[in-house]
Amino acid sequence: MLKRPRIVLLAFDGFPLDLFRPAMTPRLWQLGQDGGIAPQGGRTGLPSTTYPGFTSLLTGAGQWSHGVRTTAQRPGAVPGWAGANRTAVPTIMHAARDVGLRTAVVMGDHQLQRVMVLDDFDTAWPPAGIVPDGTELDAHGYPTNAALRSHLLEAASDPSVDLLFVHLNETDTLGHDLGPNAPATARCVRSADALVGELLDALAPDWERTVVAVTSDHDMVLRLPFPTIDPMASRDCAGLADDWIADGCAAWLRLTPGADPHMAIDRFSAMHGVAAWRWHEPNILLLLAAPGRIFAQPYVPITGIHGSLDTARTLAIVGGGHPAVDELGARIRDVAPRLRDWAPTLARILEIELPDAEGTDLLEPMASRAAG
Ligand SMILES: [Zn+2]
């Protein structure tokens, strides 16, 4: 008789993928050696930024369903034509809670917590999405990994918790300010790995029923010394768009009513620094910057940037003693998992329904082969 599963979903913000290696992250590396690692990492949607990525991770849905299409917020644009500022579909945490499973949430970004509607969880830290006074904050005003330590270890030590979501933010802040390969960023990654080690040790007593999935939302690259890209300043593109919002190395544009979308795509994609585009709705265009380039916006990170194609990869590691880990590990070694694939996969292990999920249940093909 199988014991009831326990799942820990550990998510790093802006983890620099090049720093995932045995000497730098020994506990994460060993976890993946014993379970499974996607050799080229996992994949994110576009833009490769925090809110769309993590909302897809926890809902299993794409951004056109959950509605969170950018991390930038500006009234009129967001919420508005460029998306919502709260997910429109429930997360796996909500689905688990609704069927009576015990959940816990520990997050280093209280604003992201609100985007994913995890601020209403009575088992969440920070409580109600409000960081308690006296909490140690990083340079961007988010709780440090050290500030989360006691909360995540407490949740990991509680055998009654069925599903634990942990979000660690500090790698993102250091990556933006100092760069993905800076010594201080590397130190942060090392100490985050040590914290993972403590988390795994706290899970050890119940290891045989535990699944640990480790992901991140996007990679980080160095900004190159080029001017920022402003689609509205281009004379060739004049009149083709009537609003836009930058999201790091990506930008959403709303085309002017009556503008020919094909001409708009031709002109905007020919701008210096634009590498690619996505056209989804008749009047909505996503521009993606070339490596090292970023769009003009109120806050432009000094050193590390993300949002385009080159940062659309994630950590993708699975470990634990639960029997599903071997299958899942084998699967992600073969096929790079997308962020939206994790929630339906973990929902299967927990035997809960996630009707709004659009991702692939990574355990499905093998399960049906076994059944057939
Ligand atoms: Zn992020």
Q: Specify if 1 maps to a domain.
A: no
- Residue 85's domain comprises 6-221+307-371
The verdict on residue 291 lying in a domain is yes
Domain containing residue 72: CATH number: 3.40.720.10
In Å, how far are 5, 65, 91, 116, 285 from 352, measured between CA atoms? 12, 20, 12, 19, 36
Q: How far is the CA of 38 from the centre of ligand 1 (A)?
A: 20
Residues 295 and 312 reside in one and the same domain: no
Tell me 227's DSSP state: P
Q: What is the pLDDT of residues 49-103, one digit of tens each?
A: 999 999 999 999 999 999 999 999 999 999 999 999 999 999 999 999 999 999 9
Same-domain check for residues 54 and 150: yes
**pTM of the entire structure?**
0.96
Distance 44 CA to ligand 1 centre (A): 11
| 367, pLDDT greater than 90 | no
Residue 237 lies in a domain: yes
Q: Contact, 276 vs 205, CB < 8 A?
A: no
- In the structure, ligand 1 is a single-atom ion and the residues with CB under 5 Å from it are 13-14, 50, 172, 217
Which distant-in-sequence residues (6+ apart) come within 8 Å of 125 by Cβ?
Answer: 105, 106, 107, 148, 151
Return the half-sphere exposure (C-beta side, CA atoms, 13 A cut-off) of residue 301: 28
pLDDT per residue as tens digits for the range 253-262: 999 999 999 9
| pLDDT bucket at 235, cuts 50 / 70 / 90 | very high
Per residue in 288-323, pLDDT tens?
999 999 999 998 988 999 999 999 999 999 999 999
Q: Are residues 277 and 296 in the same domain?
A: yes
Find the 112 Cα to ligand 1 centroid distance in Å. Answer: 10
How far apart are the CA of 171 and the centre of ligand 1, in A?
Answer: 9
